Structure 1
Amino acid sequence: MIEGRIPDLVVAHALAVDATRARPAHIVVHRGRIAAVLDATEPVPAATRVIEAAGRVVIPGGVDGHCHVAQITGRYRTLDDYALTSRAALWGGTTTIMDFGIPRDGTETPLAAARNKLELARQARCDVALHACVIAWDPTVPDQLAELADLGIRSVKVYTTNRGTTMADDDTVLKVMREMVRLDGLTYVHAEHDAMIVDCTERHAAAGEAGIRHLHRTRPELAEETSVREVLAMAEYVGAAVYFVHQSTPGAVDLVGAARAAGLDVHSETCPHYLALDERVYSAEFPEWFACCPPMRSPETVAALRERFAARAIDTIASDHSCYDLTQKRERRDDIRQMPHGLPGVETRMPVTFTMLSDALGAPSDPAVLQRFVEVFAAAPARINGLPGKGAIAVGYDADLVVFDPDRTRAVVASDLHMGTDFSPFDGQELRGWPQIVIARGRVVLDNNGFHDPGPTGQFVRRRGYRAADNDAGSSELVSTFRRESGNPLVWVP
């Protein structure tokens, strides 16, 4: 066969799992995309490289819809960049991350913040998509949002708390929602009731309880659920599609579920730490490891949230990755109003999520468990956010693939991770679902020989509108260029 006429890669004898099915298959890859998914009973096609999966599970590369990379908030900056965080994502089986263009202060516009992230993302090793962020409304914002949509940035995040830094007032939230309806976009919301949190925090501070050990008492569940109610009312009024980030209580999830049942386009996201940890961490030796907002909840709340997760009431799971180190965390551990909040998690999202889900639903190798995992880990984040070519093992989709053994376990060792910080909130936990082979756009970046840095090969993914046609591969020309010739293996026909 002449040079260049065979596919680049075949993952042979895999259990190929996406959100809708699991089947034994050979996955054929060429020019960065999936060229064919063949029944595993057929001969293995010739290829430049063949990876023998030997019955192991192969899933679509993960899509992490909520990451903060090189983020400046107040006087703190996360200690990462796109090269570092994208490598950590790949180590963790995530092949697409979604970051936020959050204005660093009142002088930076939403458009400028997003353009800055686009420039920084040139160093990414995995694919990148972006959300915009609006903090304060002015007459230029509608045109900025339209320009962002033209760039393929089709969502805007608003915060209902964090006054003085990232908080948007109700007028701004409502106006952003209305613009997102006009632009066929999605409104991301960090929902916590600011007045309740400020009052509660000030009362605890007056009693000498402003340190990190009291974080969970200063941001009550009611504050989250009250804000969700208010945002849902605004979404209903405007007719907006809304995505709630990092929901930490079953009550918040239930409110979104009821609104969806009533016909609203609304979605729930949670994070691995809200499923795996509870408020007892604030009484542990290193409570600063767990400074995040919302905080960890009571054991009873966590158990109920896990039930919602297992019952499909939660759409997606995202890391909310924020890469501070312990020096930054400990500088003001005496005052939660001054310390940086956020946890590193882009690399551990896969094993924590898979462990929590398989523990809740049964045997890790059960196809139903695997399909549900793919749904929250890759398929739903891709679908909801309009990411073409992501989240499925299908012809024409990007060849983002992860091979793993669902029964294999490994303990988290923070010093072995790659996120550019010196701790993990999951340090010491025994988890299953660690990636063994990771393929990003057809490049093998992780295998038994270690990590193979592809360099700055990540691509910016232009997103489709929220209500646009169902996500498809958009590459029918690729499908037609593969065929069998005279009974020979699948060959490339340019």
Structure 2
Amino acid sequence: MSQQPDLVISNATVVNSDGRRAAHIVVRDGLVTDLADAARPAPAALRTIDAAGRLVIPGGVDGHCHVAQVTGRFRTLDDYRTTSTAALWGGTTTIIDFGIPRDAQETPLAAVLHKKELATESRCDVALHGAVISWNETVPWQLEQLAAEGVRSVKMYTTNRGTTMADGDTILKVMREMVRLDGLTYIHAEHDPIIADCTEQHAQDGRIGIGHLHRTRPELAEETSVKETLAMAEYTGAPVYFVHQSTPGAVDLVSDARSRGLEAFSETCPHYVTLDDSVYGSAFPEWFACCPPMRSARTVAALRERLATGAIHTMSSDHSCYDLSQKRERTDDVRAMPHGLPGVETRMPVTFTAMTGAGASVEDFVEAFSAGPARINAVPGKGRIAEGFDADLVIFDPAEERTVDGANLHMGTDFSPFHGDVLAGWPAVVVSGGRVVLDGQGFHDPGAAGRFLARNGFRQHQSATTAGVAHAAAF
């Protein structure tokens, strides 16, 4: 057996969320085994890639993806092979999908086990969230089984009545169980009575097509739901994570709750900090059908400022792979068309461009793109380039710009909401689990090499991470 490392990334500018240093990154058996002094010659290895001073960051962790998702009569067109390949093309080496019951007959446990089986085809590492729609006496046992599987978070929707919506009683009871099981409650926060009434009013006036989507789901609906959910989290003591926040008011509610000691977190998505509601008056408004919808330009600018200053904790894609034929079936009625955007591949450049353009550092970008999602979701071995962590690495030149061409992406659909945008922050080399999967020669399919990742308990992981950072700072 060779005593040489499998891989060395030489002459790297290693950027973690808490700082940067020049180093040679040494990789063996899928792990980073050393950050060698860049002032000395690089160690010999079976393969050496010269970073030539370029930035090297930890592989992205996308905490919010929907793969092969069935909602009502629509199914996204991707599978794990497709989505994980696109993720790697975009510098993301870990995705977290959702086991959401496809109908009233599928249980939360069955939904997760189904996704876990599908994930055996993944090219990158995969973790899962559970989901609960309605409460019954079996739910506590099912949540225990999910925790034993390493699924330590559960998503609930406060809207979408008749499909995925959980009522307030269910949300509160699940929060209690997640405290007991040291888990994290995920919430899609939009106030359903406001949305249902607003949508009905627009329908009566004949303003229910895609061009009116942003008017049917007002900012007030999101912020009202966040406020109510935070009250339940405070009452139960449950850590709570809000997905795809689209308004600065929603983020500020979470920030205020954190100042009172609540364990609450804000996520946003690339489209909410770059696209505004003028897209619904464009030639192709169906490209932007998602919930919540895009907001006003003023709201977008304020949200981007909160991302740059760290009030928003994670950037996720909310990847949902519908194609234009599905989107165009019912553009006349937003209640009947599928909502969700493809974005796992473009998350890195859109986020990097938006954050650095707003004055954030590369370290801030790493926090939102990789370190924060790994830490908050209690994913071991991810989000940092350090000895003992997984060798998930991305080399890129921050000055290199490319134009998005939706037809030439790899997400299994035929469009991108960012088509034509000029973006920086594209990966040049991607290493996943010690394997070079993307370099100047193109993509190298690793096969079904992705692992299912069992996650730690939420508070257990936060305590261990805090202790680990303090220990590292002492040396």
Q: How does 1:4-403 map to 2 (within 5 A)?
A: 4-361=2-359, 369-403=361-395
Tell me the TM-score normalized by structure 2: 0.97
Instruction: Tell me the residue number matched to 1:481.
Output: none
For the Cα contact (< 8 Å) 1:201–1:219, is it kept in 2?
yes
For the Cα contact (< 8 Å) 1:388–1:471, is it kept in 2?
no
Residue 351 of structure 1: how far off its partner (Å): 0.1
**Quick one: which of 421, 426, 432 aligns to 2:413?**
421
**Aligned CA distance change for structure 1 residues 197 and 381 (closer, same or farther; 3 Å):** same
| Ranges in structure 2 where 5+ consecutive residues have no aligned partner | 469-475
For the Cα contact (< 8 Å) 1:387–1:471, is it kept in 2?
no
Instruction: Tell me the residue number matched to 2:441.
Output: 449
The one-letter amino acid paired with 2:126 is V
Residue 472 of structure 1: how far off its partner (Å): 6.0
Residue 287 of structure 1: how far off its partner (Å): 0.1
User: % of aligned pairs identical?
Assistant: 68
**Whole-Å separation in 1 of the counterparts to 2:263 and 2:382:** 21
**Aligned CA distance change for structure 1 residues 340 and 471 (closer, same or farther; 3 Å):** farther
Superimposed CA distance per residue, residues 380-435 of structure 1 (whole angstroms, 9 cap, x where no aligned partner): 00000100000000000000000000011000000110000000000000000000
For the Cα contact (< 8 Å) 1:380–1:391, is it kept in 2?
yes
Q: How many correspondences in the alignment?
A: 467
What's the secondary structure of 1:55's corresponding residue?
coil
Tell me the TM-score normalized by structure 1: 0.94
For the Cα contact (< 8 Å) 2:217–2:292, is it kept in 1?
yes
**Whole-Å separation in 1 of the counterparts to 2:210 and 2:152:** 36
Instruction: Tell me the residue number matched to 1:488.
Output: none
For the Cα contact (< 8 Å) 2:4–2:46, is it kept in 1?
yes
What's the secondary structure of 2:458's corresponding residue?
coil
1:410 aligns with 2:402: yes
What's the secondary structure of 2:34's corresponding residue?
strand
**Whole-Å separation in 1 of the counterparts to 2:311 and 2:377:** 18
For the Cα contact (< 8 Å) 1:383–1:471, is it kept in 2?
no
Residue 310 of structure 1: how far off its partner (Å): 1.2
**Whole-Å separation in 2 of the counterparts to 1:159 and 1:50:** 47
The runs of at least 4 consecutive aligned structure 1 residues that moved more than 2 Å come to 469-473
What's the secondary structure of 2:254's corresponding residue?
helix
**Whole-Å separation in 2 of the counterparts to 1:472 and 1:24:** 24
**Whole-Å separation in 2 of the counterparts to 1:138 and 1:329:** 35
Residue 307 of structure 1: how far off its partner (Å): 1.1
Superimposed CA distance per residue, residues 335-355 of structure 1 (whole angstroms, 9 cap, x where no aligned partner): 000000000000000000000
**Whole-Å separation in 1 of the counterparts to 2:355 and 2:51:** 23
Residue 172 of structure 1: how far off its partner (Å): 0.3
1:465 aligns with 2:465: no
What's the secondary structure of 1:128's corresponding residue?
strand
After alignment, is 303-312 or 434-443 more displaced? Answer: 303-312
The one-letter amino acid paired with 1:142 is P
